Chains A and B, each alone.
Chain A
Amino acid sequence: MSLLEIENLSLSIHGTDILKQVNLSVAPGQIVAVTGESGSGKSMTALAVMRLLPQGAVTDGAIRLSGSDLLNQSETDMCALRGAAIGMVFQEPMTALNPVKTIGDQVMESILIHKAMPPTRARDRAEEVLTRVGLPSDRFPLSRYPHELSGGQRQRVVIAMAIALRPKLLIADEPTTALDVTTQAQILELLRGLVTEFGMGLLMITHDLAVVADMADQIVVMRHGEVVESGATGHLLRNMQHPYTRMLFDASGHQVALPEPAQSQPLLEVTNVVRDYPLPRKSLFGSPGHYRAVDHVSFTLNRGERLGLVGESGCGKSTLTKAVLGLEEVQGGDILLDGQPVFSGHKPNLAVRRKMQVVFQDPYGSFNPRHRVARLITEPFHLLDAPPTNAERQDRIAEMLSAVGLSPDDAGKYIHEFSGGQRQRIAIARALIIRPELILFDEAVSALDVSVRAQILDLLVELCEAYDLTYLFISHDLSVVRTITDRVMVMRAGIIVEEGETESVFSDPKHQYTKDLINAAPTLPDIGRNVA
């Protein structure tokens, strides 16, 4: 008998159908991955099992845990099951813990709330599980507060709380999405170890197909609230039946062919750049310390070249981006674009800045919600001495919208009328409209679903062909950088540790950190791509 059996589960919230006839099962010691793009209903499936759905949710069907239907349990019985028989790990470790309670109290609470053991033994158990998840009490005493831990460490605390009472079923909702690749690898390894050790069933929700292929015994693919395909991992990867599954795997490993770079004179020259941030004073009279975010970085970007910059969060890549854009002054070194400094006399050099534009990560935060598209994409005209007016302006707007695959009619719309992928196209149109010589893509495809991401990557290739783009592509996603750049730099703790032709860096990394990064990143099996 399986541990968890979801049978014909349907769910609607305030009359909107969220899930339709979902079936899946998890056996003890088995890892079942539910995957799909945003809006597929995968997280709602997890919350339905916990019976922690938002208000107004109506369910139909059955969710059986060891044979008894959870949908028929009273709220009191559910409270007794949650945390004891079913544990859950959430996506966002930074906010999943109560900021005003110590980690020890929070782990002990999951034990004490079920009156599973007396407080002194609960304390020992809390120390034991925290040690098991990689937070030994000699280095991480129970008296630590969440804000004193990093994201990965907090996720370990959340896992410790979830497994403190050895539940039969563990649900993990995007447990590593907010984490860096090396941390992700450690957390996945931890989860896998716990499943083997305790014989738990693990229901894992993730959008990352590489993680799925790597971890899962069973795969469930969802779209628009329905299961489109499910089966044992190896079998499903070899025999994908549903076109959506194939499209999903294909888009995840999407490869593009960049045109040959055109010329090779240096465009952007960065030499010995240092960027320090002041730290708060430790004492009233001590001198303020500083934190070196970028440490003597030098590189050259040639005209027509597509350069990648990879690294984990906090490595200094965003700081370097801001310095290149001339948004912040550097404490040492030179940044020259076309031979001109981007910052001169403590002021950004506007003559240089008009040669650069940027595309940001967040398709929702990148636009003033009160302006229409025409005004949004023409904002960079502010940099020009003689911005185009009237008919010429209209032509430029129409040309740019067409170039990024939108309609010139979209110029009169507001940004909320567009999807995430369309917004990213508009962001590219805004960056291109003054024909900059250099574009910076700052995690520009990281927030997009895989199918949309594939389309945007294709668009970039088209634009490279049409406009001979030169760009710096900043990303934490190794697979994207590998396909969309000619050359790549690897950054860690403010230093560029390795630099070279993209393909040779990936196939034959020289620096230990690059090797660790590449090893830690889960990869799609080739088999999926061959079938598609």
Chain B
Amino acid sequence: MHSLVPQVSPVFLPVERSCWTRSACAPNVASMLRYALKRLISLMISLAVASVVIFAVIEVAPGDPASFMLGVNAQEDTLAALRAELGLDVSKVQRYFNWIGGMVVGDFGTSYTYRTPVSQMIADRLWVSLPLALYALTLSTAIAFPVGIYAAARRGKPGDLTVMGATQLGIAVPNFWFAMMLVLIFAINLRWFNAGGFAGWDKGVWTGLHSLTLPAIALALPQAAILARVMRSSLLDILGEDFMRTARAKGLSRRQALWRHGVRNALIPVLTIIGLQFSFLLAGSIIIEQVFYLPGLGRLVFQAISARDLIVVESVVMLLVFAVITVNFLVDLAYAAVDPRLRSRT
């Protein structure tokens, strides 16, 4: 009856899940590169569209920057000279490409208010905002991972319930209010930190980090609460998967199965959230800078708004959007590193 000897015949395999298509069998490096290239092209397109949108919105703004700067009584020829100096005397399309072309080589134009290069202003502020966002991201991840894994491993037990209650509260706390409370407790009452200001990096990395610590905690804790919940629920989903049962049947203990097979699979949705959180941290740092009087991008952009220094606003916004899109690109690459299935899809 069973005349067929055990053999593996490719003929009966549905094509979409077999390895008989070349792409699935190609070496990992090549497929990874192809994947990266595809994401890179998509990144370029996003940046191009985003820049057009930002430029167009700013263009809608009523008023002429030159007459705003010189006041209503300015002479027509001085106005024309200023327009030429600011590069406003050419067509809109031309100005868009000048703007983009300048940014590619690091020239962001000249501030309408301060008459100094925008790139220099942004660079100075970026040294506060970017370290702050990264500091907060590191803190939030460092807190969320162990907490989420702990809660998942003790599902339904008192430890889990306590942690989940705390994260529920953490999500509800506005970070800038939390920052004010931190200032009240740790700066005003305990005097462990300064209530605000930034010491600068010249006095050493530690001094700089010390003045960014309270802002970073204020930013990180609410995000950590979200991330810990995502980590937990993602792990719990994985715990229900068939392959976790297979792992247990091999003789792995519950804990070994969780660490060896659960965590890496659970990372896939967690990475998405980390990518999204970066943009929240960046935006959040703009708000938090107000609480701590930090000389970051946030302060720059609010000053620019009140001075109607639109070229600064435009450039800062473009920079923020660039950062978010780039981080999402990196997250896409991280996906492929975690999940081999993505690599073999073109």
Contact = CB atoms under 8 A, between A and B. Distances in A.
A74 B119 CA distance: 67
A189 B6 contact: yes
A65 interface: no
Contacts of B251: 79-84, 110, 113-114
A95 B241 contact: yes
B249 A52 contact: yes
Contact of B4 (A280, A283, A516): A516
A417 to B, nearest CB: 27
B246 interface: yes
B340 to A, nearest CB: 4
A337 interface: no
A525 to B, nearest CB: 11
Q: Count chain B CB atoms within 10 A of each CB in A90, A100, A183, A214 and give the residue with the most.
A: A100
Contact of B7 (A134, A148, A281, A492): A134
B346 interface: yes
A189 B2 contact: yes
Interface string A84-101: 100110101001111111
Nearest to A313: B14
Contacts of A314: 12-15
A494 B17 CA distance: 17
A520 B2 CA distance: 6
Contacts of B37: 284
Contact of A281 (B264, B341, B346): B346
A282 B12 CA distance: 23
Interface string B7-48: 111011111111101111100000000100110010000000
Contact of B19 (A114, A148, A185, A186): A148
A280 B5 CA distance: 35
B261 to A, nearest CB: 5
B10 to A, nearest CB: 8
A284 B41 CA distance: 11
B243 interface: yes
A110 B12 contact: no
Contact of A158 (B15, B41, B246): B246
Interface string A104-146: 0000011001100000000000000000001100010000110
B138 interface: no
B235 to A, nearest CB: 14
A387 B91 CA distance: 63
A182 B8 contact: no
A189 to B, nearest CB: 5
A20 interface: no
A149 B19 contact: yes
Interface stretch (B96-104, B183-191, B209-217, B252-260): B252-260
Nearest to B37: A284
Given A98-B247, A109-B260, A284-B38, A186 B7 contact: yes
Contacts of A312: 12
22 contacts: A75-B253, A90-B249, A96-B243, A99-B243, A99-B265, A100-B264, A100-B338, A110-B250, A113-B252, A134-B6, A145-B340, A145-B341, A151-B17, A180-B12, A189-B4, A189-B6, A279-B21, A282-B346, A283-B34, A291-B15, A314-B14, A520-B2
